[in-house]
Amino acid sequence: MGRYIVLTTMTGKGKRALTTDGGQVPAMADELAAFGGKVIEQYALLGEHDFCTIIEAPDNAAVQSLSIAERGADAVQREVMPAIDLPLFARLLTQTTETVGPFRWQTSWWARLVRPALHWWELDRDAKKQFKPLRIIGRNNLKGFRGPAIIVANHSSHLDSSALYLALPRRIRAKAAWGAAADRWFLKDRPWRKSGWWNSLTMNGFPIKRGGGRASLAYAEELIDEGWSITIFPEGTRTTTGKLGRFRVGPALLALGKNVPVIPVYMHGLREIRPKGSKEMTPGPVTVHIGKPLYFAPGTDASEATHVMYKAVEHLRDRVRAVHGNGRTAAPASAGVAQSMDGRA
């Protein structure tokens, strides 16, 4: 979820309506709620604009779709601008925006040989200390499945990749590549443990440019042609509220273009261990629910496929919440031990 500034200017007609409404100011809470956004603060202004509203919204595309039909285009005019907090802005000023990758050696025999050990050393051993316990539901839905496929999951923490990696059957995770934001994980001239090549070596990660369109998926298409599954977080960013954000269309384009199924996954409990913006971790229970693969008929519209994927992950979320509620799961006596709730691997 990002923050945005919305500047509202009332036309003559809008000001007259404002007076007759008894002082009611233009509201956009309902419009924002339709795509998971919310109003943070609102101020009346003395100057060129009449109101300043600070909002949270999933992405640029969603916030630009804010409708003004409620009052009419002849009543109000809105100007929407993305906002960034000052510490992050100052840090970005010192960083390069040039990115690196993808590294085609990442699927070579030697990279695949050393990756499990490096992944365990870099991620798994620490993750297992935080997941108390890790519960895996639905592995039986992948019985006999080998891929390739598009694996989509909700995104709430930097620990999501580790939990999903540990939850997937070994035969699938051994040949899965992980899409990651190029402007965060593949920046040039980063320390080696934060560099793009290290991400590719340990995680088989590859860069995806935000807003890069179909061209940003070209390498993923090559990987699918070679039999690799692609893991993507279609919300594009980590949630700060726990709500499931709007899905980008990229995963659907991949699935439809390459005629491969989509495996939906919902993960619960990771945001409580390490929420967005925090480096501190508090161990706790984690549940990963793997759904049945989704198959799309030729000619399916990408927006329709995206909606089906979203509803599938939402259904898994509701099933998990029906058991655990919205908060943390209760850890059993065997806390710290990974469990398969269906009894199959």
327 and 203 together in one domain: yes
- Kindly state whether residues 63 and 137 are assigned to the same domain: no
Look at residue 89 and tell me if it is in a domain: no
Calculate the average pLDDT of the chain.
Answer: 83
Q: Give the residue, 22 or 121, on which the prediction is more confident.
A: 121
To the nearest 10 degrees (0 to 180), the angle between helices 250-258 and 218-225 is: 40
Q: Are residues 261 and 210 in the same domain?
A: yes
203 and 147, same domain (yes or no): yes
Contact indicator for 259, 298 with CB cutoff of 8 Å: yes
Residue 27: CATH number of its domain: 3.30.70.920
Most confident of 203-212, 249-258, 325-334: 249-258
pLDDT at res. 15: 67
Q: What is the DSSP letter of 245?
A: P
What pLDDT is attached to residue 14?
A: 62
Residues 72 and 145 in one domain: no
302 plus 244 within the same structural domain: yes
Tens of pLDDT, residue by residue over 100-116, are 889 999 999 999 999 99
Residue 54 has pLDDT above 60, yes or no: yes
Query: How far is Cα 328 from Cα 334, in angstroms, rounded to an integer?
Result: 16
Let me know if residue 93 belongs to a domain: no
Range name among 5-9, 76-80, 143-147, 339-343 with the lowest pLDDT average: 339-343
pLDDT of res. 326: 65
Measured CA to CA, the distance from residue 172 to residue 293 in angstroms comes to 13
Q: Structural domain tally of the chain?
A: 2
Instruction: Tally DSSP H helices, then E strands, for the chain.
Output: 14, 12
- The pLDDT confidence band at residue 305, using thresholds 50, 70 and 90, is very high
Cis peptide before 298 (omega within 30 of 0): no
Question: Is 96 inside a domain boundary?
Answer: no
Shared domain check, 135 and 66? no
The DSSP string of 66-117 is: ---TTT-TTTEEEEEEEE--HHHHHHHHTS---B----GGGGSHHHHHHHHH
Q: How is the beta sheet containing 2-10 ordered, strand by strand?
A: 38-44, 51-57, 2-10, 76-83
335 belongs to a structural domain: yes
> How far apart are the C-alpha atoms of 147 and 26, rounded to whole Å?
50
Q: Do 61 and 120 belong together in one domain?
A: no
Same domain for 75 and 186, yes or no, is no
Residue 254: which pLDDT band, with cuts at 50, 70 and 90? very high
11 and 127 fall within a common domain: no
**Residue range of the domain that includes 48:** 2-83
Q: Under a CB-based contact definition with an 8 Å cutoff, are residues 17 and 33 in contact?
A: no
Read off the pLDDT of residues 311-320 as tens digits, 9 standing for 90 and up: 999 999 999 9
pLDDT at residue number 212: 58
